[in-house]
Amino acid sequence: MNNKNSNGLKGLGPLGWLLQVITGVFLIFFLGIHLYLANIDFGHPIRFFTAVLENLHNGYWLAFYIVFTYIVLYHGLNGVRGILYDRFDSQKSRALIKYSLSVLYVVTAIYGTLLALAVSRIAIP
C-alpha cells in the first residue's frame, strides 16, 4: 500500500457529497429555466444581443444568472475534483488538486459575476 496514503486525512467527506446533491437538484431547476429561455420561450428565445441585454437589465434575472453560475461551477468543479481524486491518491496531489480547483472556482466566479454586471450595464440599442 502506498505509504503516502491519505487515509485518516479528513476531506469534505459526506458534506461534499451532500452539497453535490443539493447543487445538482438546484441545477435541474436553474438549467431547466435557462434552456427554456435560451432555446424555446415559445417563439421568443433569448438568442440575439438585444434579447440578452433586455433579460440582464432585469435585476431578478441578473441575480438568477449570477447564482446559477456559482452553483453550476461548484457542481462541475467538485465533480472534477472527485474524478481527479479517484486517479491521484497521494495526500500531496489531492491537496494540489483541491487548492487549484478552489482558485479556479474563485477566479471563474469573479469573472462570471463581472461579465454579467458589465453586460447588464450596456445600453440597449
Residue 112 near other proteins by CB under 8 A: yes
CB 91 within 8 A of CB 112: no
CB contact at 8 A, 72 and 29: no
Q: Is 35 in the site for other proteins (CB under 8 A)?
A: yes
125 near other proteins (CB under 8 A): yes
Partners of 112 in beta bridges: none
- Residue from 37, 62, 66, 119 touching other proteins (CB under 8 A): that is 119
CA 65-78-62 angle, 5° bins: 5
Q: Does 107 bind other proteins (CB under 8 A)?
A: no
Residue 123, interface with other proteins (CB under 8 A)? Answer: no
Q: Pick from 33, 40, 103, 106: which binds other proteins (CB under 8 A)?
A: 40
Strand partners, 5: 90
